[in-house]
Structure 1
Amino acid sequence: MTKQQYMRTLRLHLHGMPEREREELLAEYDAHFEFGRHSGKSDAEIAFELGDPADLAREALGDSYYEPQPVMHSGQPMGHDPMMFNPPIHDPRLMDNRPNQASSVSNMAGLAAVSFISLVVVPFLFVGWILTSVFALVVFIFTITPVLVGIKALVDISEDAVNLFEISTSFILFGISMFILPWPKRAFKGYTKLNILYFRWCGRLIGGGKTHEHY
């Protein structure tokens, strides 16, 4: 099964999920394929590792999952063909893979280029994740500062345990955290998309420049 087939099948089985959640989940599995391609795996190997798209949809939707309805054609329902909704996922180890020699050379050249570029880019991506995580942690600490000051006052009952400066500072930090509270989520979401775009580009370079996939 190719990535395109897998993603189309998964989308079909996730039809009962709200559109925004469905697109986010599909983006995660899209990233799985790009990471796998970047590691030198074939689409068939990645699909086999992820498992049946129908099972993934059942797990994600729980009790709200229901089987996709057969496609309507000329006003008449088509017969339910399981192969239409669930293309078979074969164990790639049991398949006879005989790649075209020219394609293999192109893929190897792309892999070499991606490996060289990744030596520079991946450390920056890693640092970006660290900075994004630190930013989220700082916002969280700002948010709970009044609580920390209150705990300090309860633990230390002396008169000078908590002064006016600490109280006012804690509420100032809390106010700042309320203002920037949505930013960590946006930062994580935007940076995740940036990483996905980079690994998609790497996958396309390794795959010989296949730049358009629709599912």
Structure 2
Amino acid sequence: MNEFPQRAWVEELLVEFVPHNPFRALFLFQGLPSVPCDSGFLFYLAERFNVSVFYPRYPGTWESKGLLDELLPSLNKLMRKRIFQDCYTGEKYSFSFKRRFGIGHSFGGMVVLKLLEEEKLDAGVALAAPWEINNLKDHLGFVKRCFGEAYRFKHPKLFSIDPTTIKQLPHLLIYSKDDEVVPLKEVEPFIQGLNVRIVDGYGHGGKRKLIKRYSRTIARLFSDG
């Protein structure tokens, strides 16, 4: 096994990936802002859920080109991609995905829910996901002040998600009672009747621990049956 994931360009997106199962893909989405640091965890996800794992940098963030404004169109291109060429070796990896899954934390959870709603994913797991972001301008101002050119955007727009649509689709939502970034009381109006696990003691973090804790549930959600 390689010590590090492969890296490939999908137009403007830099994508780390672990080739494992050519027919099953798992896309991992991070928060906003966040520091890319999940490379080693990709191998666990590949083995545990029998998937090839893809970890994109959003457009206009970190190594990726373009602007964050182009988020959803860029991710749609990624979903359709079949051949990935490793930046290091030039080796090409071909995939024929029959099933696509997503795991996202915080803002990445919103991304998973939106892609699920648009039927780009067959099932999705969202951890500590907000359903709306208040004061988007202030939030992006904070991102720019604290992360500088790691985040590049002009006028990004947020997307809306319909809980009634999500209810009909394979999903799992996980929230912690002591999360001060995405308080449970703010998402309760949206998550009624959805497949939700409420935990305590994880705050807004604990992503890896929660995925491992609920790995059996997630494996069933990601099954081919």
TM-score by length of 2: 0.24
Structure label with greater radius of gyration: 1
Structure with the larger helix share = 1
TM-score (norm 1): 0.24
Point out the structure with the larger strand share. Answer: 2
Between the two structures, name the one with larger relative contact order (CA 8 Å, sep ≥ 6): 1
